[in-house]
Amino acid sequence: MRDYFYLFLYKFFTLLAKILPKRAIDYILKALASFAYRVDKKHHHIINANLKLAFGDNLTQKERDSIGRYVFYNLLQTIIGFIKRDGKDANDILKDIEFKNSHILEDAIKSKRKIILITAHYGNWELLPPTIASKFRVELIGVGRRLDSPIMDRVLIKNREQFGVKMIYRKGAMKGLLRALKQNKIVGLLLDQHLGKKQGGVEVNFFNKKALQSPSASILARNFNAIVIPVFISTNDYKNYIVTFYNPLPTIKTSNREDDIMKMTQAQSDIMQKVISNRPKEWFWVHRRWKGNEQLTQKLYNNYI
C-alpha cells in the first residue's frame, strides 16, 4: 500500500509540474525548502556542522542558514526536474544545456581508451547523466542505491534508461563496473560521500580535514589505464544549465599500488573541493562527509547548536 501511495504522489507532482507555471513552482519549492530546513533538526545540524568544518568562521550563521535553505531547494528542484523529464526525448532535455570544454570528452572517446567520469551531488546531479548520454550518444553506466519502494525504483530506472543511462546497484557494483569498462562503456561515479574503511574507503584531505572516500575510480583507472574526467552541472535559474568538463586527472601506475590509489583519490577530492568552494550552495551538504573522523566530528554532528 505504501508503494502505491508513493506512486500516487509521484503522479500528482508530475501533474502539478506540467500545469503550474515555473514561477509558481519556484515559489512553492522555496517555501517548502525553508520549512524543511527549519523543522528537520537532524539535517539542519549536519548541514551547519559540515559548513563549519569546511569554512570555519569564514561564514556567518546567516550565510550558513542561506546555504542550508538552498540545499533543500536544490534537492526539490532536482526531484521536479526528474519528474518533468518523464516521457521526454533527448532534444527536449538538451535545448537548455550549455556544454563547456566538451572537447575533453570528445577527445577521450576518439582515443579509444576506457573512460571514467567523476562528479558529486552537486547542482542537478540527476540531470547530468542523461545530458551526457544524449549529447555524446554514449551508453553511460552509473552506480546507485536501490530504493526502498520497488515501484518507485522501477520508475527511477525507467526514467534514467530512456536516455541511455544504465544503473547498477551499489552491492556488488565493482563487478558491474569492470564488465562495463570491458565492454567499452563509459562509467560515471559520484564520489563525494563517506565510505567507511571496512567498505574500502581511503583517507583523503577534504577542506583541510581528513575524510574517507571511495577509491573505486582510482582502482578502475589504474587497472584499465582509463581516462578520469571530472564533470559537474550547475545552474542559476533551474531552467538553463551548464555542464563543465575539467581536464583529465593523472592515471598513475607504478610498483606501489597503494600509493598510486591514494594519489589519484586525493586528486579527485581536490577537484571536488575546488568546484564546491566556487559555489558552495549547490553541493548537498546533508551527507556526513567527515563521519570517519570521529574525534573531529562527533561533537559537531551530534550536538551542533
pLDDT digits (tens, 9 = 90+) for 174-221: 899 999 999 999 999 999 999 988 889 999 999 999 999 999 999 999
- pLDDT in the model for residue 164: 81
Number of domains in the chain: 1
Question: CB count, 10 Å around CB of 199?
Answer: 10
pTM equals 0.92
- pLDDT in the model for residue 168: 86
Pairwise CA distance, residues 280 & 273, whole Å: 9
Pairwise CA distance, residues 245 & 158, whole Å: 26
Pairwise CA distance, residues 301 & 294, whole Å: 10
Which residues, other chains included, contact 218 with Cβ-Cβ below 8 Å and sequence gap of 6+? Answer: 260, 261, 264, 265, 268
Q: Residue 267 corresponds to which cell in the numbers above? A: 586528486
Pairwise CA distance, residues 274 & 207, whole Å: 9
Pairwise CA distance, residues 134 & 163, whole Å: 6
CB 147 within 8 A of CB 194: no
Residue-range definition of the domain harbouring residue 17: 2-303
User: What average pLDDT does the segment 165-178 reach?
Assistant: 86
> Is pLDDT of 305 > 50?
no
**258 three-state secondary structure:** helix
Instruction: Report which residue type is found at 248.
Output: P
- What is the longest distance spanned by two Cα atoms in the chain? 60
Report pLDDT digits (tens) over 124-158.
999 999 999 999 999 999 887 776 667 767 777 77
